[in-house]
């Protein structure tokens, strides 16, 4: 009878150990799930921070690569080239069923070379005409979204770079953008 009690006690201790191991495994799995969820949230909501850190590590290489290419919306803005501000633009947007809409904007151009300013000064009227033509060819729906504004920037830069000789417009910034 003493042997039976020992067997029951040893079975009970074995079950107790099995339950403890099971709780430890469940705890580890739960901890791993929590870590995965936190990492997932950080990646999807704050992934730009890690990209910015990676871009900040080599801003000179990146700015040299971007000087000859079209604007890259993800490019590092830590080192901005020479700027060329333009006067304010007020244009009518194309009618899209909702009456007349006006766009009031100010633009600053980032240049690949500081020497370009003299060329831009002589071609200032051509710059303004080109920008007014592009802006007035848009509807409210085309310029109201962030993606639309980015597309507008790319189109303006492409058109401006067609007649520049000394360098290129690397990036363009809307310093004011009001649609009414």
Whole-number mean pLDDT of the chain?
Answer: 80
H/E stretch holding 174: strand 169-179
102 DSSP β-pair partners: 92
Q: Do residues 117 and 111 touch, judged by C-beta distance below 8 A?
A: yes
- Return phi, psi of residue 137, to 5°: -90, 5
Rounded Cα gap, residues 23 and 19, in angstroms:
6
Model pLDDT for residues 129-147, shown as the tens digit of each residue = 999 999 999 999 899 999 9
CATH class of 71-179: alpha beta
Q: Do residues 106 and 174 touch, judged by C-beta distance below 8 A?
A: yes
Pick the range with the lowest mean pLDDT from 57-66, 99-108, 130-139: 57-66
Dihedral angle at the C-alpha atoms of 123, 129, 132, 137, nearest 10 degrees?
A: -130
- Tokens standing for 113? 């070379």
Percent of the chain with pLDDT over 70: 73
Domain-by-domain residue ranges, the chain? 2-57, 71-179
Q: Do residues 171 and 107 touch, judged by C-beta distance below 8 A?
A: no
- Tokens standing for 119? 């060329």
pLDDT band at 64 (very low <50, low <70, confident <90, very high): very low
3-state secondary structure 141-164: HHHCCHHHHHHHHHHHHHHHHCCC
pLDDT band at 19 (very low <50, low <70, confident <90, very high): confident
Q: What is the pTM of this model?
A: 0.57
């Amino acid at each position: 009878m003493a042997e039976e009690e020992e067997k029951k006690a040893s079975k009970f201790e074995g079950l107790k150990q099995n339950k403890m191991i099971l709780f430890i495994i469940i705890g580890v799995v739960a901890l791993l799930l929590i870590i995965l969820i936190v990492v997932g949230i950080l990646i999807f909501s704050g992934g730009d921070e890690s990209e910015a850190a990676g871009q900040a590590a080599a801003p000179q290489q990146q700015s040299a690569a971007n000087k000859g290419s079209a604007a890259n919306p993800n490019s590092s803005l830590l080192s901005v080239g020479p700027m060329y501000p333009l006067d304010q633009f007020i244009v009518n947007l194309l009618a899209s069923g909702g009456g007349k809409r006006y766009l009031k904007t100010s633009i600053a151009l980032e240049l690949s070379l500081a020497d370009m300013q003299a060329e831009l000064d002589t071609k200032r009227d051509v710059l303004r005409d080109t920008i007014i033509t592009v802006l007035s060819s848009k509807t409210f729906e085309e310029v109201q979204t962030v993606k639309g504004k980015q597309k507008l920037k790319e189109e303006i830069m492409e058109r401006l770079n067609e007649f520049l000789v000394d360098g290129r417009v690397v990036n363009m910034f809307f310093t004011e953008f009001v649609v009414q």
